[in-house]
């Protein structure tokens, strides 16, 4: 059992990265091997719409033709048993690197048949982890749920089952006095991080365990 983790945040030791790592710890606790990739360490771009992955009889049919830092990561995902993808929410959606990653991961497998189909040779389970500085209520008001549902739907169509974990009202920086962020209460944010982050880490750990259990490791 192998579980791949994707950190779509530019930071390696903050909310998103912490929760993705905890999910991998949960999978490892049941015997899974795990590997974590930080997208911002990689030199890659999103889908360039060349359609090489869809050319009849082409050498790259069903596989992205781009040869960059993301290519070996996509190969490892194709051989994996489960996947954890984490991203903060910036301006109402996932980070640019996360979006580019999803384009490259998913489009190569999509078939424009009736109905749509997939060339992915098996089923794997995916866990999405989202972190955001707004509350649960605000995320609904701003329409974030549609983003989460859309990502789950495409993952279910092309790779397998998917679920999402959301961490709301996250703390953005260690010291709010050093930055101009006047619309958030630093005391509330500090308390929120102290109280909520351990609970969110536990939820992420349990998510990782569910991904491992999906292939019977717990049996």
Q: Is 178 a member of any domain?
A: no
**What is the domain-level CATH number for residue 46?**
3.40.50.360
Q: Is 11 a member of any domain?
A: yes
pTM listed for this prediction: 0.92
Q: Is 70 a member of any domain?
A: yes
pLDDT recorded at residue 214: 54
143 Ramachandran zone, left/alpha/beta (phi>0; psi -120 to 50): left
Q: Is 137 a member of any domain?
A: yes
Q: Is 142 a member of any domain?
A: yes
Q: Is 219 a member of any domain?
A: no
pLDDT digit string, tens, across residues 18-50:
999 999 999 999 999 999 999 999 999 999 999
Q: Is 96 a member of any domain?
A: yes
Q: Is 105 a member of any domain?
A: yes
Number of folded domains in the chain? Answer: 1
Q: What letters, b where the CB count within 10 A reaches 16 and e where it falls short, cover 31-62?
A: ebebebbbbeebebebbeeeebbbeeeeeeee
**Burial class, 154, CB count within 10 angstroms (exposed 0-12 / middle 13-18 / buried 19+):** middle
Domain of residue 38 covers 2-171+201-213
CA distance 26 to 203: 10
> For residue 215, what are its two tokens?
């292939």
pLDDT digit string, tens, across residues 139-187:
999 999 999 999 999 999 999 999 999 999 887 777 777 777 777 777 8
């Amino acid at each position: 059992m192998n579980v791949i983790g994707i950190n779509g945040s530019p930071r390696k030791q903050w909310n998103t990265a912490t929760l993705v790592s905890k999910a991998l710890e949960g999978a490892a606790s049941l015997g899974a091997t795990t590997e974590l990739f930080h997208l911002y360490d990689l030199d890659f771009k999103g889908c360039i719409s060349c359609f090489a992955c869809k050319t009849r009889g082409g050498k790259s049919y069903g596989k992205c033709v781009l040869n960059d830092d993301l290519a070996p990561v996509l190969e490892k995902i194709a051989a994996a048993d489960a996947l954890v993808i984490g991203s903060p929410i910036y301006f109402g959606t996932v980070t640019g690197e996360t979006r580019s990653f999803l384009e490259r991961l998913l489009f190569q497998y999509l078939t424009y048949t009736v109905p749509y189909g997939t060339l992915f040779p098996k089923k794997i389970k995916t866990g999405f982890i989202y972190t955001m500085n707004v509350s649960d209520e605000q995320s609904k008001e701003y329409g974030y749920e549609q983003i989460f549902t859309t990502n789950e739907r495409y993952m279910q169509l092309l790779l397998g089952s998917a679920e999402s974990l959301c961490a709301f009202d996250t703390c953005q920086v260690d010291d709010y006095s050093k930055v101009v962020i006047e619309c958030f209460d630093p005391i509330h944010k500090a308390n929120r991080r102290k109280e909520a982050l351990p609970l969110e880490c536990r939820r992420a750990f349990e998510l990782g365990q569910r991904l491992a259990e999906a292939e019977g490791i717990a049996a």
